[in-house]
Every structure is written in C-alpha cells, then in structure tokens.
Structure 1
Amino acid sequence: MAAEAIRVTMEVGADGVALITIANPPVNALHPIIIAGLKDKYAEAMRRDDVVAIVLTGAKGKFCGGFDINVFTKVHQTGDVSLMPDVSVELVSNMMEEGKKPSVAAIQGLALGGGLELAMGCHARISTPEAQLGLPELTLGIIPGFGGTQRLPRLVGLPKAIEMMLQSKFIAAKEGKERGLIDALCSPDDLIKISRLWALDIANCRKPWIRSLGRTDRLGSLSEARAILGAARQQARKVAPNMPQHQACLDVIEEGVLYGGHAGVLKEAKVFKELVVAPTSKALVHVFFAQRSTTKVPGVTDIQLKPRQIRKVAVIGGGLMGSGIATALLVSNISVVLKEVNPQFLQRGEKMIAGNLEGLVKRGSLTKDKKNKAMSLLKGALDYSDFKDVDMVIEAVIEKIPLKQSIFADIEKICPKHCILATNTSTIDLNVVGEKTNSQDRIIGAHFFSPAHIMPLLEIVRTEKTSPQAILDLITVGKIIKKVPVVVGNCTGFAVNRTFFPYTQGSHLLVSLGIDVFRIDRVISSFGMPMGPFQLQDVAGYGVALAVKDIYAEAFGERNLDSDLVDLMVKDGRQGKMNGKGYYIYEKGGKPKPDPSVQHVIEEYRKRAKTMPGGKPVTLTDQDILEMIFFPVVNEACRVMDENVVIRASDLDIASVLGMGFPKFRGGLVFWADTVGAPYIYSKLSKWAEIYGPYFKPSPYLEQRAKSGVPLSAPSTSQQGSARSRM
C-alpha cells in the first residue's frame, strides 16, 4: 500500500461542519499515519474559527475496520510497546470526547475494534442499518485499547457489552439503535447530510451533548454490576481457561464501574500494553496472518491467472462426507448434482443434506428462505447423464482404490474438458487415483474435514501434474464456500493426517506402558485440544483407524507403531460413539462418561504389547505425557516441511488449528514447537528413541535445526530447491 493512499482529509463546509474522512483501503484500518492524521485534523478543527462541529467518517462506504494489526507484528518482533501510538487518552478522550466542539460519527459498512471505539468517543453516532459493529480484540489475545471497555457498557449496558467483547460478537446497526449504541439510522445517501445536521444541533444546544465516558445510567447498581461480572468470570473460566485476555477485560470493566470511566480508561491502557506483548497475543496474531497467507501459492496465484466460474458441481457419494460437501456448496449458491448407486442411498443422501441445512437453521446461521433456496439447487442422479455440463466433480466414496479408479475413468469420458476432477480421499496417493485417466492435469485432492459443512479447513492436494488453473479454481471455490484453503503436496495422509498420525499412536504407546486412558485425555484437553485422543477416536469411529492402519504401516515403516488396541475394542463389541460404547459411554443428551468396564480390554492390550519394563507400569508426569504425544507429531511436521509437502510452516500451523483443533492460542503446531525450542524437543526424542525404539527417532531436519539454532519455522534454501519436492 502506497503511503499516499493512507491519509486523513478534512473539508469544511459553508455550514461550519468539518468533515474528517479516514482513507486507508480496503477497510480504513487505523495505521499510525491515520492516527497521526486524526490528531492533526482534530487539532486544526478545534483551532479554526470557521469550524463549529465535526463529522467523522470513512472513505468508500466503510467507516473503519479497526487498528492496523501489522503494527502488532512489529511490536512482537521488537518487543517495543512504544510503537503503539497513544490513541485512547490523547485522541479519543482529550481531543474528541472532551473537545470544545461536538463530533458525530457517520457510520457505514463497518465500525469494528478501534473504529467503533473512535465512534463511541464521538457525541452521537448515525449509521446505515446494515453496518456491522463490534469489538473483536479478544480474538487477538488483547482487549479493546481505545476506551471500548468503558464506553460500550455505558452505552448498551453491562450484559450486552460483556457478550460483545468476550464473544467478539458483531451486531448490526439496526440492533445497535435498539440498544442505545446508535442514535439514528438513515440511508447511505442521507448519511453525511443527517450527520452534519445532528452535529450542528448539538453545537446549537438543540440536541444533548453526551460524553459516553461520563454516563452511569446503563451500568445498574453496584451489586447488580458485581453479580453480572462474577457470572461472566465464572463463564470465562469455563469456556476460555487458557485465555488471560478474558479475565483481564473483566478486571478493566470492573475498575471503571468501581472508580469511574477515566480510571477505567487508564487501567485499560496499562493492561492493553501488557497483553500485546504476552505469548497469547503473539500466538493469535500469528494465526491471524497465517490464515491470510494460505492462498498465496507461488506459480499459481502470482502468474496473472484468472479463476473460472464454478456454477455447477457434481458430488459422487451421498454418505457423511458427500452430503456435508454438498451442503457447503448449496448454502453458497452453487448447484449440486448428487450421484448415488441406487434410489435408497440417494434418498438417504438427500435426507442427510436436508438435515444438515435444518441444523444450520437451528444454529441461526441460515434463514428458512435460504434453506429452501439451497434445497432447490440440489438434483439427485443415479447415472452420469447430468455430468455433461458440470464445472467440477468431487468424488467422496469409500477409500477403495479400484472403485475410485473406475469412477475417474468414467467421469473423464463424460465431463466437459474444463471440468476439474477432485477426490475427497484422506490418505490415498492421487497419482494412484488418477492412474487410469489421461487427464492428470485436472486431477486434484479436495480433502474436507468432517462434518464438511461446518469444519473450516480444505486441504487442496496437488500432484506434479495438476495444472495451476485447477488449483486456482479450487482455492476460489474454497473461499466461496467459506473454507480456509491450504495447498499441500501429494503423499500418504497429505499434511494434516500425516503430521498427526503419531498423535493416536503415541497415546496407544503410553497406554501400553501402563498410563491410564482417561488421564491421557485429561492432560491433552488441559493443554487446549477440544478432546483427548481416546475420546476423539470414539467420536471419529473405529472404522477410520482400521481403514488407514495398513496404509500407514506401509508408508511410515519403522516409525509406525503397530497397535491392536482398536481391534480389541471392536472385538469387545465397542464402536465408540456410534453404538454408545467405547472408552467412554455415550447417552443421548448427556456428556461422555469414562467407562470403567473398558479396563479388561486395556489389560489384554498391555499383555499383548509387552512394553512395560519388567511388566510394571512406568511413572510419568503430566508434562511427560504431553511431550510423548506431541513431540513425535512435531517430528513428523519436520519431515512434512523438509519434503515441501507444505509451502510454508505457517500453513501447517493453520492446518493443525483448523483440521485437528490444535489450540489457536498456542499459535499452531510449528509455532508452539518453536516456543518450546528445537534443541529441547530433539534431546527428549533422542532419549526416548534409546529406551523405546525408532518411533521416537528425531528426523534429520529436526536434528539440523536443533544443532544450528535455526527455528523450525524458518524457510531453508535447500528445502525450496529440493528434488524431492512434492509441490
């Protein structure tokens, strides 16, 4: 972005109103140049005798998307908090709110984070009805830092303000008007005119001159406020135990309730500066930028290719994955042909799609009208006759190589020449899938995660022959259906399943050494995973584990651990959540409960494994358990990076967060590993390899990084030019 495009302008009209406009495309973010410009223009407006009032707005239909997050990255790199400009006290409190001339915010499009905080520092807010308002700072490990923790509760009341901040929840300006955050609604055409008149009315005492920070009427009594804050603290401890910014936000709100808005603003500024350099903020800001870089693919997105329009997609297979994929496409207005082998299976698939859509309506993420529109875009098929005009096919049948090969040979003959031929396989080599076709350039992996209409990750798998156009088109479709596309190379398990295959295997090894199943799950959940490896196995179903067992054994050789624990579970009549009985007991509507009767299966497994030294259980700390499960995962991630299966380390971070539920507040797998340090991970794995064998043997990449002191995430020149490149 050229510096000249980032500016603040001021025009003074004959009516005496100064129109101050923030211009920093695309969302008018508060870059330091903008902050300096606002201070400059406000000072000028206050000085000038021909200015009686001010209207603050944003260029090109957007008010302001908040503070420029690039500044946080600079702070994290340097540790220099002074790079953060003083906005809260100097600009919002002193120049705007306490200024001798009234300010009115003219809001359109969005007013988020620092943008909404600027608006709340004005004496009135006029908005278009659909504008989005919110304070999403907590998603970056910080709290609102320009007075938002103080002014929002004073405008909308404590309960709504806490909900908006702690859940980073946006509201439309229409609701903002009902809540007291917005003073008046109008059309985009009338926005500036009405805002100017409102500002003049305040200046001429025809409308009240309200300073938000001084208000207390929406805060309730002290005992009410304490009760609300207490309940919010309890809830935050439950849902965000590893997120310090939640409790910090409540502390700062409480300070303002007890000692007044000005005291709250000062505490907010202090706590904000502490949080911005804390590990949680560093990790979450890393994830924010990592997610935005996944669509930058060298040789694809930088060669002036234009994505083709994908209007109609055929999905082969209406099972759990196929129906989920179809749902994701339909809600994004893409027509779908669902192909099945017989009428019964087709009807079941259509029912599952209808159920998925109904579920989205119940969750509030889809209206009934949109649900009906989505169903109208679905067409069932029992043969390929409707494939003649499809732009893409996504095959989602069971993991059987001959079946997939015959499907691809058939559709190649029927589909148009531009049609992309995608497979949702999670493990099978794409070269094998497309072996019997002449269209290797159109064959690509579209690996969705279950449930496909909800999980946000889309692994796009390319072979050496996949065309850049096919990759670009699938990236574009991924964005349309609101997925985060990560382009990866072709190998067994691709990026996510390959990196995380030791996750389950390590947990099985620990059980064979005498560690309690439920203790392992507790340790892993406390670390921040959504659930432990054994509950995950119950939920995913044992069929998946059994289906990939031989594939992994063949691909990964001596670093694959052979475990028959799942076989023994199945033999004992257990199928996990599917039949309500696995390591846990699953009752409808209830939480999973550990099943003590699983112990005899575990004892049988230990007897067969013969891993316990001298037949006695080993003694391990919780940290040992955590490291013995995750360090082999990091080790495999090193191999994935070394073989160029991913373009950059941060792609693996995003894939681990969105595909496996790795804690976002730890920044993703590789980012976390770098905070632990390669030398420590290498030394631990080396020690365990001596005791327990080659499963733990450090990879050459990890060894080299540990000895050279280079972070695991740093790109290497030899890696980029590697002959073994999968990309």
Structure 2
Amino acid sequence: MMLTSKSIKGREAHELGLVDVITSANELVNTACSWALEIVEKQRPWFKSLYRIDRLPDLVEVKDVLRFARVQTKKKAPNVQHPIVCIDVIEEGIVSGPRAGLMKELLSAKMLEQTQTSKSLRHFFFAQRATSKIPNVTNIGLTPRKIKKAAIVGGGLMGSGIATVLILNNFKVILKEVNEQLLSAGINRVKGNLQSFVRKGQLTKEDRETKFSLLSGVLDYEQFRDADVVIEAVIEDVLLKQQIFSDLEKYCHHNCIFATNTSTIDLNLIGQKTGSQDRIVGTHFFSPAHVMPLLEIVGTRQTSSQVIVDLLDVAKKIRKTPIVVGNCTGFAVNRMFFPYSQAASFLVDYGLDVYHIDHVITQFGMPMGPFRLADLVGFGVATATRKQYFQSYPERCYKSMLLLQILLEDNRTGESSRKGFYVYDDKRKASRDPDLRKYIEKSRSMGGVMQNPKLMKLTDNDIVEIILFPVVNEACRVLDEGIALKASDLDVASVMGMSFPSYRGGVMSWADSLGAKYVYDRLEAWSKDYGQFFKPCEYLAARAHQGASLAAKVDGAKSRL
C-alpha cells in the first residue's frame, strides 16, 4: 500500500490495524476526543495506541519481507528513490524503535522534498487540477447544462468503451449501429467491459445489472430526439462523419451537443455540411475509453463556450481529466507525439536495433517502446495516421515508411496478427523475432540507406533524447499556435494520454529540467547532420536564447478556441 500509494477504505484499514476505530461522521470529533482523553488519563496505553507493533511477525521474517520488497521495488521503479527510502524508514522503526523510525521519516522526507522527482510529482499534481480552468470560458459566469441522456453512433471498441464509462456514471445511453449484428456485438462489448469491473471487485453483480439497464440499442436516429449530447465514434472516414452530422441535425433538438471522437480529422471538415458549427466539438477519448483517464475536449473557433463548459462538467462526472485544446491534425496528444515513432524509425533505418531502442525507452520510464506500441496499435492505423501527418506537416516529417509497408505486404500487421516487430504467443506475450532483420535490410536497400557509424555509437541517453526531443519541439509548436493553453496541460496530456512517466513531471516539465538551451542545441546539431525533421521551432529557439522556461507565458499567441 505504501509503495504504490494504493488507497484503502476505512474498514480494511481497521482490519489491518492502521486505524483504531470506525465511527460515523457525526461522532468523529467526539470519538477522537474520547480516545485522546482516555490516553491522557492512562485508561489506554498511549505507547500501544501510537506505536503498535503487535501485528508484526518476528524480526527475521520482517527482514525477509523487506528484502523481497526492495528487490521488487528496484525492478518496478528503477528510476525513483522514494519507495526504497520508504522501506528504509519502515526497517529503522522496526529495528531501532518507533522514535528512531519517526526521526528517520522526518529527515528522509526533508531530503526527498529537494529532489527533482518530488518537484516533478508536485508539478504534475497541481497541473492536473488546473486543466479545467479555461480563460474566457470557465470564468465568465456560465453554468453547465444538465446532461442526462447521451447517444453514441458506432458500437466498436471506442463506441462501446465510451458507452461503458457513461453508464458506469449513471448517464442514460443510446447506442446506434447500422445493423442487428453490429449492434449486438457493440452491446456485448459493453457487457464484457462491465464484467471486467465485476471480476476486479470494482462492481457488484447487482450494480452491473443496474448500470447495464441504462443502455439501449437502436438502428435509427428516432430516439436521438431527446439526447443532450451525441458522440460519433465511427471509423476515420471524413465523408461518413459528414453524413452522420448532417443526419443528426435533422433529428436532434437545437441545444444537443454534436461531438466526435476523431483522433486526427479537422473538426471544421467534419461539420462542413451542417449549420451547427457552434455546437460541434471533439471529445477524444483514449483507448480503452472506460479505462484511460484523459479526455481531450477539442474546440474550434466556432464552438460555443457553453458547449465547452457542459463537457467539462461531463468529464468531471465520468471521472476523466479533461484538457481543452484547439483544432488541428492530431489535436494535442497525438500531434506532439507523432515525431516519437518517426524518430525511432529514423534510427532503425540508419543502423540501430529495434529491440535495443524499445529497451532504452522503457528504461527511461515509458511502459513500452515505440515499436512495441506500433504493434499494439496495429500497422494499418499507424500507416493511415502517418499519411495524415505527412499531408499536414510535410516539411518536418521523416518520410520513410518502407519498413512498415514491407511488413504489411507480408501480412505482419502487429499484435492482432501475432506478428509485427515482435512475435506473439497465444497469451499475447511478445518475443523478439530474428526474422525481423531481413525486413529491415530490405527496407534499407530499397530506400538507399546505409548504416551510419556515428549514429550507431549513440549512448542510451542519446537515444532517449533523439526520440523525445522532437516530441518536445512539436509540443512547443502546439503552444505557439495556441492549440494548447499552457505547457502544464501538455504535461498532463503526455502522462495521461501517452503514459510519459509522471515522476518526470510530463514532457515539458522534463525538458525544462534539462533546460531549453540544451534541448535547442541538441536539435540544432542534429538538424545540420540529419535534416529538417530535427529543426528547432521558433518558440523553442526564442526561449533558448532568452534563457526562459518552456512553460513561460506565450506572448502574442492566438488561442484556437
């Protein structure tokens, strides 16, 4: 519990001996005073009440437990200090007595408070709580309208996940599909999602049935007439989305919010065939929608402030952390991370090993490397999104897609086909594939690319920086263009959307800990050696030359909201 910051409920804490008594809220103060007086009057032994050790096994067993905890902690959290310090404090209290343990805790807390990890975690804590504060939107006296009924178009993985999170939080939901077979599949996905919460002990069977009763399935738009919000969650097809929004306008009431779960497509394009631009908004959930904590709320310059306020309230009710961003290809999260996989591909083209790159990135703190992530997402999706970025940002994309194309031609599509950059067993466990080398050599040959001796000598730290500094660079552009309101929003987005390590504070906070000038100098040097992909943007250059923080307020930037 202490090592993972796991929260527990009162009754469990009482059973573990962490609290002495459970009482009602009304009696809390009286009960506490009564216990304190009994200790003062020696009716209760104060030593036992404050320094309980009666639940502990003998010292030999305790040391074995702590030794095992140290080994596991070093494996699971190799980049942070505080879990090991926590174990040290516990051991001191057991071996040398409670007073010695408390003194070590005090000194250790003071020491840890000064570390970069502590500063980063505190920054992230406050950044999370600041994402809902939107100038000229949340501070102009608008009150959220009541959203009681939501409709979802599309019952695939995303649509069913969104339906799940809504009914879990007591919203009535209509799920629409185009035929009975797809509708049944979508409803069954929602059932499966709810069952997963039952298996984990997070939902009772009775609660599951109550929540499921909030869902209804339809094949047309008739029941959308009293929906307060419609979320479109179909495939990334512009013409299909345009048709859906045009149809919605015919059936839904004039205050209904029209939301799209697109992850990359321009919202102005989606709403082009409607007269309702002021209520069109992006609600980009991350997959799986009923698990991932982030929600990107995407506004255009036409989207009304009332719609943003309404969706911020919905985000709060469904327990998502919202970030409000402007409209562009990729929005905030996907846009700032598109160079991530491209930088990794660049390194492989010029001689580095796929598996070594993934290992280095996971050692840095990401849950998986760029190639394992590509397998998880699937090469079809990866190829389609890359094409969109090539169209939108051609001057700064690493153009080579040969390796992915060659793998796709051989029916290696990622984890779903059990073969991608890795191979997968029946339990989806990934293993390295010696055959991958021949595909890489073929792509180098077709692209006329040779191994680069200088790049092949990169240290692990160099690899981290050459992959993540282009992400920082793109994040700076996102700020400069007014897509995001503040750097701390991008920190939250990087941690909660792409699993960047929270103990580094988020991608911008991490870059600031290194210094804007350092990041700029590295990118500038790489751009001279390896091309425009690494060219630092004006925002980063200005802050490097001024010695300013990347989080410093942007002068003259025009918000896209």
Q: Normalization by structure 1: what TM-score?
A: 0.75
The verdict on how the C-alpha distance between 1:206 and 1:420 changes in structure 2, with shifts beyond 3 A counting, is: same
The answer to whether the aligner puts 1:234 opposite 2:65 as a matched pair is no
Partner residue in 2 for 1:291: 128
Structure 2 counterpart SS, 1:166: coil
The answer to whether the aligner puts 1:364 opposite 2:207 as a matched pair is no
C-alpha contact (below 8 Å) 1:405/1:434 kept by paired residues: yes
Partner residue in 2 for 1:504: 341
Partner residue in 1 for 2:395: 558
Partner residue in 1 for 2:359: 522
The answer to whether the aligner puts 1:413 opposite 2:250 as a matched pair is yes
C-alpha contact (below 8 Å) 1:572/1:601 kept by paired residues: no
The answer to whether the aligner puts 1:657 opposite 2:495 as a matched pair is yes
Query: Matched residues in 1 for 2:549 and 2:26: separation?
Result: 53
Task: Show CA shifts across 1:164-184 (max 9, x none).
Answer: 211212222222332223333
The answer to whether the aligner puts 1:225 opposite 2:62 as a matched pair is yes
Partner residue in 2 for 1:308: 145
Deviation at 1:622, TM superposition (A): 1.4
Deviation at 1:364, TM superposition (A): 2.4
The answer to whether the aligner puts 1:603 opposite 2:437 as a matched pair is no
- What amino acid does structure 1 have at the position aligned with 2:101? G
Structure 2 counterpart SS, 1:638: helix
Task: Find the partner of 1:378 among 208, 215, 218.
Answer: 215
- What amino acid does structure 2 have at the position aligned with 1:465? Q
Query: Matched residues in 2 for 1:209 and 1:261: separation?
Result: 13
- What amino acid does structure 2 have at the position aligned with 1:328? V
Structure 1 counterpart SS, 2:263: coil
C-alpha contact (below 8 Å) 1:213/1:262 kept by paired residues: no
Structure 2 counterpart SS, 1:184: coil
Query: Matched residues in 1 for 2:189 and 2:134: separation?
Result: 35
The verdict on how the C-alpha distance between 1:304 and 1:281 changes in structure 2, with shifts beyond 3 A counting, is: same
Task: Find the partner of 2:411 among 557, 564, 573.
Answer: 573
Query: Matched residues in 2 for 1:198 and 1:244: separation?
Result: 37
- What amino acid does structure 2 have at the position aligned with 1:416? H
Higher relative contact order (CA 8 A, sep 6+): 2
Deviation at 1:660, TM superposition (A): 0.6
After TM superposition, the structure 1 stretch with the greater mean CA deviation from structure 2, 645-654 or 625-634, is 625-634
C-alpha contact (below 8 Å) 2:14/2:22 kept by paired residues: yes
Partner residue in 2 for 1:30: none
After TM superposition, the structure 1 stretch with the greater mean CA deviation from structure 2, 608-617 or 587-596, is 608-617
Query: Matched residues in 1 for 2:282 and 2:66: separation?
Result: 48
- What amino acid does structure 2 have at the position aligned with 1:445? G
Query: Matched residues in 2 for 1:267 and 1:203: separation?
Result: 26
Query: Matched residues in 2 for 1:524 and 1:614: separation?
Result: 21
Larger Rg: 1
The verdict on how the C-alpha distance between 1:617 and 1:263 changes in structure 2, with shifts beyond 3 A counting, is: closer
Task: Show CA shifts across 1:281-329 (max 9, x none).
Answer: 0000000000000000011110111001111100100011111111110
Task: Find the partner of 1:673 among 480, 501, 511.
Answer: 511
**Count of equivalent residues:** 560
Partner residue in 1 for 2:308: 471
Deviation at 1:543, TM superposition (A): 1.8
Deviation at 1:462, TM superposition (A): 0.3
Partner residue in 2 for 1:280: 117
The verdict on how the C-alpha distance between 1:697 and 1:186 changes in structure 2, with shifts beyond 3 A counting, is: closer
C-alpha contact (below 8 Å) 2:264/2:331 kept by paired residues: yes
After TM superposition, the structure 1 stretch with the greater mean CA deviation from structure 2, 176-185 or 676-685, is 176-185
Gaps of at least 5 residues in structure 1 are 1-163
Q: Normalization by structure 2: what TM-score?
A: 0.97
Task: Show CA shifts across 1:243-296 (max 9, x none).
Answer: 210000001111111111111111111111110010000000000000000000
State percent identity of aligned pairs: 52
Partner residue in 1 for 2:459: 621
Query: Matched residues in 2 for 1:678 and 1:308: separation?
Result: 42
Partner residue in 2 for 1:711: 549
The answer to whether the aligner puts 1:259 opposite 2:96 as a matched pair is yes
Task: Show CA shifts across 1:695-721 (max 9, x none).
Answer: 1111111111111111111112222xx
C-alpha contact (below 8 Å) 1:512/1:610 kept by paired residues: no
Structure 2 counterpart SS, 1:165: coil
Query: Matched residues in 1 for 2:521 and 2:109: separation?
Result: 37
Query: Matched residues in 2 for 1:241 and 1:184: separation?
Result: 37
The verdict on how the C-alpha distance between 1:271 and 1:188 changes in structure 2, with shifts beyond 3 A counting, is: closer
Partner residue in 1 for 2:279: 442
Deviation at 1:614, TM superposition (A): 7.4
C-alpha contact (below 8 Å) 1:214/1:261 kept by paired residues: yes
After TM superposition, the structure 1 stretch with the greater mean CA deviation from structure 2, 491-500 or 561-570, is 561-570
Partner residue in 2 for 1:592: 430
Cα RMSD over matched residues? 1.7
Task: Show CA shifts across 1:2-44 (max 9, x none).
Answer: xxxxxxxxxxxxxxxxxxxxxxxxxxxxxxxxxxxxxxxxxxx
Partner residue in 1 for 2:106: 269
After TM superposition, the structure 1 stretch with the greater mean CA deviation from structure 2, 265-274 or 387-396, is 265-274
Query: Matched residues in 2 for 1:690 and 1:443: separation?
Result: 43
* Pairing 1:82-121 to 2, within 5 Å after superposition: none
Task: Show CA shifts across 1:365-399 (max 9, x none).
Answer: 22222211111000000000110100000000011
Partner residue in 1 for 2:560: 726
Structure 2 counterpart SS, 1:447: strand
Gaps of at least 5 residues in structure 2 are none
Task: Find the partner of 1:396 among 227, 233, 258.
Answer: 233
Deviation at 1:608, TM superposition (A): 2.1
Query: Matched residues in 1 for 2:479 and 2:125: separation?
Result: 21
C-alpha contact (below 8 Å) 2:295/2:315 kept by paired residues: yes
After TM superposition, the structure 1 stretch with the greater mean CA deviation from structure 2, 213-222 or 694-703, is 213-222
Task: Show CA shifts across 1:545-580 (max 9, x none).
Answer: 122222111100121112222111111111111011
Query: Matched residues in 2 for 1:302 and 1:366: separation?
Result: 37
The verdict on how the C-alpha distance between 1:708 and 1:193 changes in structure 2, with shifts beyond 3 A counting, is: closer
